[in-house]
């Protein structure tokens, strides 16, 4: 369905030119949706100073010359608003054209672009909440529209999968055994809460968890294997939910913080060459 403004704006420009001359024809008719009609045009109020006439007088002059196949009725209201009611025949014709169009009225983009859409970014080892679901649905809706318009869309599901929480989870997994994780997302969430309590209540465990982070980020094979189990468990549950929702995210669209870990040394080296970092207590 074409935007009704594509029919209303030319009608207003013709009416403005007829009523006040070509120098006024390009004035924005300031058409907005309205609670009192289908649309409301506020152009007359903006022309008050320019034409030196009362807005209602200007509005009446516009309405007197307003035509077009889209408008059923145009009425002046208040200080100079123009209320517009569209013809039923115009609306039915437009709706019919959309129903018969395989692209449902979406014209291809004249200049296709590359667009990155960041999805929900669920918390690993935790159940999704409504915020994750909302951003997932909105993100996928935007992706579908953009792709239909002909844009190249890069889906991105950015995950926080690298840091102290994972040291905590991996250490808990080592001490409690794999059965502690369970096979459901609820069980995995319970495991997370248990690990957090252990971390908060046991300073020795917290120290081991922090050391586990060092091993993780240093590439220790055994630590990485446990980390991958936790990540895969979370993403597996998320994938089930995505499929139920019909979301077009795939495994290849996931890029967590861990994705960038191999790049950090090069980034630090470049910043160092440029004199943009300094050491503080032995750390960068």
How many domains does the chain divide into?
A: 2
Is 136 a member of any domain? yes
Is 101 a member of any domain? no
What is the pLDDT at residue 210? 93
Low-confidence ranges of the chain (pLDDT < 70): 1-2, 178, 180, 182, 282-284
Rounded distance, CA 144 to CA 122, Å? 21
* Encoded tokens for 11: 């009608």
Write the DSSP string, 160-192: --SSHHHHHHHHHHHHH-GGGT-SSHHHHHHHH
Rounded distance, CA 63 to CA 70, Å? 14
6 with 41: CB under 8 angstroms? no
Domain end among 63, 90, 117: 90
Q: What domain range is 18 assigned to?
A: 5-90
Answer yes or no: do 133 and 200 share one domain: yes
What is the pLDDT at residue 159? 85
What is the pLDDT at residue 124? 79
Is 271 a member of any domain? yes
**pTM for the complete prediction?**
0.62
Of 51, 65, 60, the C-alpha closest to 13 is: 65
181 with 226: CB under 8 angstroms? no
What is the pLDDT at residue 94? 85
Question: CATH number for the domain including 124?
Answer: 3.40.50.620
Own/partner contacts of 72-76, CB < 8 Å, gap of 24 or more, are 75/37, 76/44
Answer yes or no: do 204 and 238 share one domain: yes
Is 96 a member of any domain? no
- pLDDT by residue (tens digit) across 184-218? 878 888 888 999 999 999 999 999 999 999 999 88
Residue reference for tokens 């207590």? 281
Q: How many CA atoms lie within 13 A of 98 on its CB side?
A: 12
Answer yes or no: do 39 and 166 share one domain: no
């Amino acid at each position: 369905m074409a935007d009704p403004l594509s029919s209303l704006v030319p009608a207003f420009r013709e009416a403005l030119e007829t009523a006040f001359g070509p120098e006024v024809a390009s004035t924005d008719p300031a058409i907005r949706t309205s609670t009192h009609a289908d649309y409301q045009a506020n152009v007359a109020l903006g022309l008050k100073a320019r034409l030196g006439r009362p807005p209602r007088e200007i509005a009446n002059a516009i309405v007197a010359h307003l035509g077009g196949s889209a408008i059923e009725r145009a009425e002046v209201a208040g200080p100079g608003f123009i209320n517009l009611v569209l013809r039923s025949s115009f609306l039915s014709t437009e709706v019919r054209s959309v129903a018969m169009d395989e692209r449902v009225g979406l014209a291809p983009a004249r200049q296709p672009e590359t667009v990155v859409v960041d999805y929900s970014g669920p918390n690993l080892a935790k159940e999704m909440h409504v915020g994750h679901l909302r951003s997932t649905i909105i993100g996928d809706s935007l992706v579908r529209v953009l792709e239909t318009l002909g844009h190249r869309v890069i889906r991105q599901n950015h995950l926080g999968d690298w840091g102290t929480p994972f040291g905590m989870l991996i250490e808990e997994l080592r001490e409690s055994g794999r059965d502690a994780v369970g096979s459901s997302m609820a069980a995995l969430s319970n495991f997370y809460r248990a690990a957090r309590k252990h971390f908060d209540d046991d300073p020795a465990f917290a120290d081991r968890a922090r050391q586990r982070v060092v091993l993780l980020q240093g590439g220790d094979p055994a630590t990485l294997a446990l980390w991958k189990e936790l990540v895969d468990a979370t993403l597996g549950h998320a994938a089930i939910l995505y499929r139920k929702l019909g979301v077009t995210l795939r495994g290849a669209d996931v890029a967590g913080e861990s994705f960038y870990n191999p790049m950090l040394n090069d980034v630090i080296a470049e910043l160092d060459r440029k004199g943009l970092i300094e050491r503080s207590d032995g750390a960068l």
